[in-house]
Every structure is written in structure tokens, then in C-alpha cells.
Amino acid sequence: MSVVSVAESWSGITWSGDYNERQTVRAFTVETSTPGRGVFSFPLTSGGVTIPAQGTPHPDAAEFISGVPQITARGPTYFEIRIPYVATGIAGAEPNPNLTPLDQAAEISWDDDDREVAYDVDLDGNVVSNAWDQPFDPPLTRSVSDPILVIERNEAAFDPDTKLDYQDTICAEDFWGAPAGRARMGKIRARSVNAATPYWRVAYRIAFRMNTPAGVADADAWKRAVLDKGTIYKGDGDDKTLHATPNGEQVLLDADGRATDAANPHWIYFTEFKTKGWSPLGIDRNEI
């Protein structure tokens, strides 16, 4: 039995789960000169087309390694041979000698952190105050969730100064679709891995503060907001005389230091985190 022709009929990638669970199949048709039982030796080449042996990298994506050829007779002299491929890292897959740990894709995961926030207007637009238009003390709070992005990847080296430079900073650029000022770098964890090609496993934890009261600027998203109030206030209009409240009770103040009510509160924003560009880290969505 000799091979008359070999042709590749189909190939494609199917995805299942994360990066290291990708699979693909290449399909070939083989025609022989005489009827046979489909016993072939691999690699099998004819007419410039090669059916690979087990353990061969995919010609278009070296991270895929071929498995055992699957042969099906479609006629006495006509056979279909399917070559399954799996991405390096799948249990049972042959290791790919062309890849190093630095070639592996980053692992991405999402979580949430809950926090309590004070508010002066409810979701229906009602001012949060008592019958005398005074705010509640302490103010009402509600629970909100901040999305947490964790990026974990292999890096050739890790400088501990990276933690000092980037932890607890606010991203000065748009990041993963969020405007500048909305993303804050949390913990950066790193551990060395002693392998044939030594590397570092580094994880970045980023929180997004997207759920803020209406009117809060992107640049103020991570600032500490404090309701402006005190025991001293200016008079109305042109009266700049300072007045003290009876018995030392606090009143709401506007931006000029005059008494106001709960319908027109003034919030003061205090900076707690420095702003820094994260571009040198190369962890934006289109960089990993």
C-alpha cells in the first residue's frame, strides 16, 4: 500500500476555559494506491504536505503540541487522519521545547472589595436630612463594591523598588478602559522560581473606584471626601463677620464658609495617594 496523495482539509482553534486549556485540531485526507488497514508511519509526507508525528509543535502556533494521530477509514483507499493539539501546560501534554516560562500568558482574575460610603442624596434624588433640613450625624452610609483586577504573570526579573514606586498609587493614564484617576494599585506580590530558566512570578492587585456619587470628578475618585461643617461660620451676603454656633453644635458650611443646609452640602476632598503613570509596568489590557 503506497500513499497517492495527502491533503489538509480543515484546521481551527477551539477554546475552553483559560489560556492553558486551548485546543485545536488539524484534519487530513489520505488516498492510497490499494486497499489497506490504515497503518501509517508518522511523520507522513506527500506532495509537500506533512502529517506530523506526536509531540510536534503546530506550524502556526508553537505553544500547541500534537497528540496521537486519530485514523478513520472512509473507504478502502480513503482515510481521514485528525491530529489533536493542546497548548503547553495542559495536564498530559508533551512539554514544548520552544517555550520558556516567560512565554506563558498572564493569568487574569476579577474580584470585589466592599466598602461603606456616606451619601447626602439617595437613589431617588431625595436629600438625606431631618425635618429641619439638617444632615444626620453620623451620616447615612451604604455598601458599594469596587471591582478588583488581579494580573499574575512570569517576569525575567523583579526589582523590590517596584513595590515602593507603584503600590498605593493612582494611575495617571486610562487603564483597562477606566479613566485616569479611577484605578489604584494595591499589593504587588513577587516570588522567585528556581527553574531551568529562572524567573519571578509577579501578581498585581488593582482596585477600580467606579461607583462614586454623581458629580465626583475622575481625579477625585480616590480622595477622602469630608462633609464641610463646623462651629464657626460667616454671615450672609456681604457680612463677613464670623459667628459661633450656640452650645458648640456644628452647622453645614458652603465653599465660602457660610451656613448652608443638607440640600446644598459642600464636600472637601483630601489627597491620600500619589498619582503615577503605570506605562512602564506594561500591564494594560493591550499589553499582556
pLDDT in tens, 209-263: 988 877 889 999 999 888 888 889 888 877 778 888 888 888 888 988 898 887 8
For residues 41 and 135, membership in a common domain is answered with: no
**Residue span of the structural domain in which 157 resides:** 103-226
The per-residue pLDDT for range 23-65, each reduced to its tens digit, is 888 999 999 999 888 889 999 999 899 999 888 888 888 778 8
Same domain, 117 and 72: no
13 band by pLDDT with thresholds 50, 70 and 90: low
Buried b (16+ CB within 10 A) or exposed e, 20-37: bebbbbbbbbbebeeebe
> Quick one: 55 and 134 in the same domain?
no
- 3-state DSSP assignment of residue 209: coil
41: which residues sit within 8 A by CB, 6+ positions away?
A: none
Q: Are residues 13 and 42 in the same domain?
A: yes
CA torsion through residues 183, 189, 195, 199, sign: positive
Per-residue pLDDT tens digits for 149-201 = 999 999 999 999 999 999 999 999 999 999 999 999 999 999 998 877 789 99
End of a domain among 87, 115, 149? 87
- pTM assigned to the model: 0.61
